[in-house]
Amino acid sequence: AQSVTQPDIHITVSEGASLELRCNYSYGATPYLFWYVQSPGQGLQLLLKYFSGDTLVQGIKGFEAEFKRSQSSFNLRKPSVHWSDAAEYFCAVGAAGYSTLTFGKGTMLLVSP
Amino acid sequence: GAVVSQHPSWVICKSGTSVKIECRSLDFQATTMFWYRQFPKQSLMLMATSNEGSKATYEQGVEKDKFLINHASLTLSTLTVTSAHPEDSSFYICSAETGAVYEQYFGPGTRLTVT
């Protein structure tokens, strides 16, 4: 069975500083990997996804993530955080041929002025 | 982009009563819809997968007689929590898939409080 670990429950970053949110997965085959953002009152929004190919994936809102098979990681990064990025971020893993997702517990991002 | 709505966004009910939550894909037809449950500070836990016109597939440990799912059309799925108890209080989220694998769009969620 697949699983996802987001080791940081919450992170505080100063506005304008860089951000990295960690995600580790466990899955026997090549995973499909996703990052979602959840803001209060909003549905989860897909930031980016990795299925295959280039291991550095660009997403919306200036986010990117890098798939590292050797480390079973898919960390999310942003070079300069904006106050509007404050939200909860979920990493998820899926399997080829299936539609079901397994989510991590999420990381709450707080942005300080 | 594709939009998924949920209704109601917040509901309070008394223990022993039933509550129905609707999930609608507003501008696309959803071949598959998913229902998740989210506890505070916890991950989204998949409860069931439903395909239009067929019975839902429930995840292990989810009581199908308690959480009734109906996917009557390509734009509507409903989750009915029957004989609700305080432990059913949670945040319920649906998502709808367009037909392309993993192209899922999530609803804003429904907060259920059972008193």
Secondary structure of chain B as H, E, C letters: CCCEEEECCEEEECCCCCEEEEEEECCCCCCEEEEEEECCCCCEEEEEEEECCCCCEECCCCCCCCEEEEEEECCEEEEEECCCCHHHCEEEEEEEECCCCCCEEECCCEEEEEC
Q: What is the mean pLDDT of chain B?
A: 92
Closest chain A CA to residue B41: A105
The pLDDT of residue B72: 83
The pLDDT of residue A30: 80
The pLDDT of residue A28: 75
Closest chain A CA to residue B102: A99
Closest chain B CA to residue A97: B101
Check A106 against B43: CB less than 8 A apart.
yes
Is the four-CA dihedral A67, B47, A100, B11 of positive or negative sign? Answer: negative
Q: Any idea which residue has 């308690």 for tokens?
A: B66
Closest chain B CA to residue A93: B102
Residue B102 has its nearest CB partner, among A32, A44, A102, at A32
The pLDDT of residue B88: 96
Check B108 against A105: CB less than 8 A apart.
no
Chain B hits for A60, CB-CB cut-off 8 Å, are none
Check A99 against B102: CB less than 8 A apart.
yes
pLDDT > 90? residue A2: no
Reduced 3-state DSSP string for A76-95: EEECCCCHHHCEEEEEEEEE
Chain A hits for B9, CB-CB cut-off 8 Å, are 41
The pLDDT of residue B28: 92
Q: B100 falls in which pLDDT band (50, 70, 90)?
A: confident
Mean pLDDT of A25-51: 89
Check B108 against A42: CB less than 8 A apart.
yes
pLDDT > 90? residue A68: yes
Mean pLDDT of B22-47: 91
pLDDT in tens, B41-98: 788 999 999 988 888 999 999 999 999 999 889 999 999 999 999 999 999 999 999 8
pLDDT > 80? residue B102: no
pLDDT in tens, A77-103: 999 999 999 999 999 998 877 778 999
Mutate one of B43, B91, B94, B97 to test the A interface: name it (highest A CB count within 10 A): B43
Check A43 against B109: CB less than 8 A apart.
yes
The pLDDT of residue B112: 96
Mean pLDDT of B25-35: 92
The pLDDT of residue A84: 95
Say what percent of chain A tops pLDDT 90: 79
Alpha carbon of B94 to those of B23, B24, B34, B50, B76: distances in Å? 6, 9, 5, 11, 11
